[in-house]
């Protein structure tokens, strides 16, 4: 019904928003007692699915203050009702990340790699490169063997919910995941399936083919491209995206103003400590280190998280560096 | 040098093993012997009939798509891994008694992946146990020191997941069970 009525969802964010607003009492204060009383909350409390036939049309048709506000999406909802974003970013149950969108395969799936990836966009990261690997269903020892072959160390991957402190190999895997995601988007390949580092075949020792994208590209176009060459194209796209964000924000301090992570990632509902089994709680100092390592493997400025003139130049983007320099948006330049 | 006559017999054996694998069955020497006697022209004269162990070794040497598996019963069983994998074969081999099948599968999953397994998994192929067999198996485990490491956790939806405390801590097993039960589904 929600689909038929064109109601947004964003991976359950609408539902989580409604629950939070209901349970913390905000809803009651914001929509007025008459409208609040017109909603059959008893059906919700009793688990009666008929509640959905009452609530979803209100949102779809923008009926009343509730329908209007919830129909806006989380970002505009918070603005409309003057709710500070921190109320969401501090609440583990919201799964909210930043700028109106929820997490998408962050620490709940892949520890530091997932968090890094979720910081890199000003919308849902929609990256599955990393999670396709950790969810591939292979035994952990096999995943670690493949990680060693692909990213230089078995320590590049942890068991889900059994995270170890940050290391440079995880940063390399995060970089790989992002670059491949950009490539997939540009090549029309499915990032919900690839990359193909793993194989289900025992005779291949469960090794996939990390160069499939470049092989597909070479076959389809006749233009021979190695894995490394095509990865550089993906990196160029990603860095161009970064440059556009810097230009449009008018600020190159991406680390402090863009690459944000919600504070709920440093919480555990049961009080478990970071790096203990069965928690996705991260450690603030470790995540600071993770971001620095990621900037390092990208060749970016560690202080700001902005690509350096050298990073642009290495990718053939000297003109981009020149334009950003003119706007004093390169690292080290005054804004 | 293997005679042409033995090559024919090996081919008959190989085809029989492949057909059985295709049908999800493992075959041992006895079953293969009966089948071979029924399909070859040598009759059932023990003096004439080839010695099966040697013939099976030659069959595996000639047909590299076939493999042998040492059964928990001590018998050697044969299969075609491309049609019936080693993992699947091992599950079939452990099907009787159910208590061993359940315990070994739970331990393997807890150790290797690591992950708890949903109880209703054992009703699905290739396990194909009935709810009564599963219940009986769990009762047997509950009263046996040999299986005291096999335990369970219940998710928020009421789903029961089994795990081995030998390889998985309870808290971690509960985390992984919640993730498997609803976490992955709600997070595509």
**Look-up of token digits 């597909």:** A216
Residue with tokens 């609040």: A36
Residues of A near B (CB-CB distance < 8 A)?
A: 11-12, 105, 108-109, 135, 137, 139-141, 159-162, 202, 272, 277-279
In a domain, A163, yes or no: yes
* Amino acid B48: pLDDT: 52
Give me the long-range contacts of A81-90 (CB less than 8 A, separation at least 24).
Answer: A81/A26, A81/A30, A83/A26, A86/A263, A88/A20, A88/A262, A89/A262, A89/A263, A89/A264, A90/A262, A90/A263, A90/A264
pLDDT score recorded for residue B46: 58
Question: Given an 8 Å threshold on Cβ–Cβ distance, is A162 in contact with B169?
Answer: no
- To the nearest whole Å, the CA of B175 is away from the closest chain A CA by 5
User: Following DSSP, what letter does each residue of B38-62 receive, concatenated?
Assistant: HHSTTTT-TTTSPPHHHHHHHHHHH
- Helix and strand numbers (H, E) in chain B are 7, 6
**Tokens for A34?**
């008459």
pLDDT digits (tens, 9 = 90+) for A236-268: 999 999 999 999 999 999 999 999 999 999 999
Residues A148 and A271 both lie in one domain: yes
> Is residue B3's pLDDT more than 90?
no
**Under 8 Å between Cβ of B126 and B91:** yes
- Please compute the mean of the pLDDT values over residues B55-80 and round it to a whole number: 93
Residue with tokens 């029924």: B38
Question: Is A57 among the domain residues?
Answer: yes
User: Which residue among A109, A139, A202 places its CB closest to the CB of B112?
Assistant: A139
Tell whether A238 and A277 lie within a shared domain: yes
B171: nearest CA partner in chain A? A278
**Residues A123, A223: one domain?**
yes
Q: How far apart are CA A142 and CA B59, in angstroms?
A: 32
Last-in-domain residue among A21, A49, A83 = A83
Lowest mean pLDDT among A52-56, A78-82, B41-45, B132-136: B41-45
Residue B49 confidence (pLDDT) above 80:
no
Residues of chain A positioned with their CB less than 8 A from the CB of B174: 278
- Tell me whether residue A241 is in a domain: yes
- Nearest chain B alpha carbon to A9: B186
Q: What is the pLDDT of residue B94?
A: 81
Q: Does B65 touch chain A (CB under 8 A)?
A: no
Would an 8 Å CB–CB cutoff place B171 in contact with chain A? Answer: yes
**Domain identity same for A174 and A39:** no
Q: Is A163 helix (H, G, I), strand (E, B) or coil?
A: coil
What tokens appear for B141 in the block? Answer: 């485990």
Residue B37's pLDDT is 84
Query: Does residue A95 form part of some domain?
Result: no
* pLDDT confidence of residue A85: 97
A169 and A110 part of one domain? yes
- Confidence band, pLDDT 50/70/90 cuts, at residue B42: low
Total beta-carbon pairs less than 8 A apart between chain A and chain B? 40
C-beta atoms of B179 and A140 within 8 A: no
Closest CB to A161: pick one of B81, B86, B172.
Answer: B172
Contact A12 B186 (CB under 8 A): yes
Cβ <8 Å between B175 and A278: yes
Q: What distance in Å separates the CA atoms of residue A98 and residue A261, rounded to the nearest whole number?
A: 7
Residue B157 and residue B173 in contact, taking contact as beta carbons nearer than 8 Å: no
Averaged pLDDT, B41-64: 78
Considering the domain architecture, whether residues A171 and A32 belong to the same structural domain is answered as no
Could you tell me the pLDDT band of residue B32, with boundaries at 50, 70 and 90?
A: very high
Q: Strand, coil or helix: what is B117?
A: strand
Determine, yes or no, domain membership for A61: yes
Q: Does the CB of B185 have a partner CB in chain A at under 8 Å?
A: no
Chain B CB contacts of A107 below 8 Å: none
A82: left (phi over 0), alpha (psi -120 to 50) or beta: left
Cα–Cα distance, B45 to B42 (Å, whole number): 7
Domain total for chain A?
2
Expressed as residue numbers, the domain containing A193 is 104-335
* Contact (CB<8Å) A202/B86: yes
Closest CA to A305 of A239, A213, A207: A239
* Minimal C-alpha gap between B168 and chain A (Å): 10
Top residue of A199, A278, A280, A281 to mutate, by most chain B CBs within 10 Å, is A278
Residues A184, A326 within the same domain: yes
| For chain A, the helix, strand and coil percentages under 3-state DSSP, each to the nearest 5 | 55, 5, 40
**Structural domains of chain B sorted by starting position, each given as residue range(s) with its CATH number in brackets:** 4-92 (1.10.10), 94-183 (1.10.10)
Confidence at B47, pLDDT banded by 50, 70, 90: low
Question: Which of B 101-130 lie inside 8 A of A, CB atoms?
Answer: 112-114
* pLDDT higher than threshold 90 for residue B73: no
Q: Same structural domain for residues A130 and A272?
A: yes
Is residue A88 one of the residues assigned to a domain?
no
Q: State what percent of residues in chain B have pLDDT above 70.
A: 94
Which ranges of chain A have pLDDT less than 70?
334-335
- Position B1 scores a pLDDT of 63
**Domain match, A254 and A119 both:** yes
CATH number at residue A133: 1.10.599
Task: Give the pLDDT score at B56.
Answer: 93
Q: Mean pLDDT across the stretch B31-52?
A: 73
Residue B34 has pLDDT above 80, yes or no: yes
Q: Which residues of A touch B85 (CB under 8 A)?
A: 202
Do A67 and A170 have their domain in common?
no
In chain A, residues with a C-beta closer than 8 Å to the C-beta of B90 are none
Tell me the nearest-neighbour CA distance from B134 into chain A, angstroms: 25
Residues A323 and A223 in one domain: yes
Asked whether the beta carbons of residue B174 and residue A141 sit closer than 8 angstroms, the reply is no
Query: Which of A143, A161, A200, A280 to probe the B interface (max B CBs under 10 A)?
Result: A161
**A96 in a domain, yes or no?**
no
Q: What is the mean pLDDT of residues B51-66?
A: 92
Identify whether A97 is part of a domain: no
Task: Kindly state whether residues A188 and A220 are assigned to the same domain.
Answer: yes
């Amino acid at each position: 019904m929600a689909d038929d009525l064109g109601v947004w969802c964003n991976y359950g964010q609408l539902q989580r928003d409604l629950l939070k607003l209901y349970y913390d009492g905000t809803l009651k204060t914001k929509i007025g007692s008459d409208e609040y009383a017109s909603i059959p909350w008893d059906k919700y409390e009793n688990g009666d699915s008929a509640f959905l036939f009452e609530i979803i049309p209100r949102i779809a048709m923008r009926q009343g203050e509730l329908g209007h506000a919830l129909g806006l999406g989380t970002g505009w909802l918070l603005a409309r009702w003057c709710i500070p974003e921190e109320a969401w970013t501090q609440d583990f149950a919201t799964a909210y990340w930043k700028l109106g969108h929820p997490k998408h395969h962050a620490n709940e799936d892949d520890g530091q790699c997932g968090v890094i990836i979720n910081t890199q966009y000003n919308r849902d990261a929609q990256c599955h490169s990393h999670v396709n690997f950790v969810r591939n269903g292979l035994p952990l020892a096999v995943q670690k063997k493949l990680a060693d072959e692909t990213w230089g160390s078995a320590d590049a991957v942890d068991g889900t919910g059994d995270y170890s402190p940050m290391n440079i190999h995880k940063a390399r895997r995060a970089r790989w995941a992002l670059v491949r995601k950009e490539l997939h988007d540009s090549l029309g390949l499915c990032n919900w399936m690839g990359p193909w580092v793993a194989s289900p075949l025992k005779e291949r020792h469960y090794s996939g083919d990390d160069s499939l994208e470049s092989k597909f590209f070479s076959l389809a176009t006749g233009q021979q491209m190695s894995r490394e060459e095509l990865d550089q194209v993906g990196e160029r796209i990603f860095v161009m995206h970064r440059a556009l964000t810097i230009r449009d924000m008018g600020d190159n301090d991406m680390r402090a103003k863009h690459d944000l992570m919600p504070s709920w990632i440093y919480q555990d509902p049961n009080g478990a400590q970071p790096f203990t089994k069965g928690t996705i709680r991260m450690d603030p100092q470790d995540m600071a280190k993770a971001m620095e390592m990621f900037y390092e493997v990208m060749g970016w400025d560690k202080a700001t998280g902005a690509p350096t003139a050298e990073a642009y130049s290495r990718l053939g983007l000297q003109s981009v560096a020149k334009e950003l320099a003119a706007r004093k948006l390169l690292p080290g330049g005054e804004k | 040098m293997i005679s042409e006559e033995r090559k024919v017999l090996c081919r008959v054996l190989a085809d029989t093993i492949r057909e059985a694998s295709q049908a999800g069955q493992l075959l041992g020497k006895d079953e293969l012997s009966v089948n071979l006697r029924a399909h070859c022209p040598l009759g059932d004269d023990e003096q004439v009939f080839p010695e099966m162990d040697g013939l099976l070794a030659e069959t595996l040497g000639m047909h590299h798509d076939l493999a042998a598996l040492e059964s928990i019963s001590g018998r050697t069983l044969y299969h075609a891994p491309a049609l019936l994998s080693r993992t699947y074969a091992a599950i079939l081999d452990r099907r009787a008694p159910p208590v061993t099948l359940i315990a070994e599968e739970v331990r393997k999953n807890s150790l290797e992946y690591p992950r708890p397994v949903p109880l209703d998994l054992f009703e699905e192929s290739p396990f194909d146990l009935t709810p009564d067999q599963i219940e009986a198996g769990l009762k047997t485990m509950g009263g046996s020191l040999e299986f005291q490491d096999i335990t369970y956790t219940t998710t928020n939806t009421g789903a029961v997941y089994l795990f081995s405390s030998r390889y998985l801590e309870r808290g971690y097993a509960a985390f992984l069970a919640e993730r498997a039960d609803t976490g992955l589904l709600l997070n595509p």
